[in-house]
Amino acid sequence: MTSRPFILAEDKYAKEFLHRLLLKAGLILKKSAIVPVGGKDKLLRELPHSVETLVRLRKATKVIIIIDGDGRPDDTCEKCLNRIPRAYRQLAEVIALEWEIEEWVLKGLCMRPSGSRKPSEELSDYLRRERGATRGYDKEQLPRFARLIDVEKLGKGDDNFSHLLSALKDP
């Protein structure tokens, strides 16, 4: 059977960012295999239906859910797993980020997230301080950061990113 992994992502910006980042890491995944849902709450609410639809209608062999942990990744992961129908749990992998996907940007730029602030806030400060930006980070900028990220360092320095790469490589 051919491997057909799908990724459920929180929003359209994460979709484009992930597509670019995976290409840079040497993994080719069609854009249509990265499904944006429309925010964390909507992702959690629609998770049972989304997973079932991907498996039954789109013939997914694996569904990887990437979701913001908002400082409570273990709780977020448990919430996701409890929402996935039992019949599909063996096909699902949950990657609950410590805070949000922007932590991959910081780590990929060889910066250490402080842990006391959201990575998107730290990214705003970085843009103002290092790049002379007049306004800080906005979510729509996320896809553009993929080209700046050192994926080797990110893969070595972030368990969640290396988990994603492994999940995509493992049928």
At residue 171, the pLDDT reads: 65
Phi, psi of 152 (to 5 degrees): -65, -45
Q: What is the pLDDT along the chain (171 residues), one digit of tens a residue?
A: 578 999 999 989 999 999 999 999 999 999 999 999 999 999 999 999 999 999 999 999 999 999 999 999 999 999 999 999 999 999 999 999 999 999 999 999 988 888 788 999 999 998 888 888 888 899 999 999 999 999 999 999 999 999 999 999 986
Cα–Cα distance, 73 to 76 (Å, whole number):
5
At residue 121, the pLDDT reads: 93
Record the pTM: 0.94
Cα–Cα distance, 111 to 122 (Å, whole number):
10
What does the radius of gyration of the chain's CA atoms come to, in whole angstroms? 16
CA separation (Å) from 165 to 20, 100, 111, 140, 143?
13, 18, 21, 24, 18
CA separation (Å) from 75 to 10, 20, 69, 108, 167?
17, 29, 8, 25, 21
Cα–Cα distance, 77 to 17 (Å, whole number):
22
Q: Are strands 34-36 and 62-68 parallel, antiparallel or unpaired?
A: unpaired
Cα–Cα distance, 47 to 32 (Å, whole number):
18
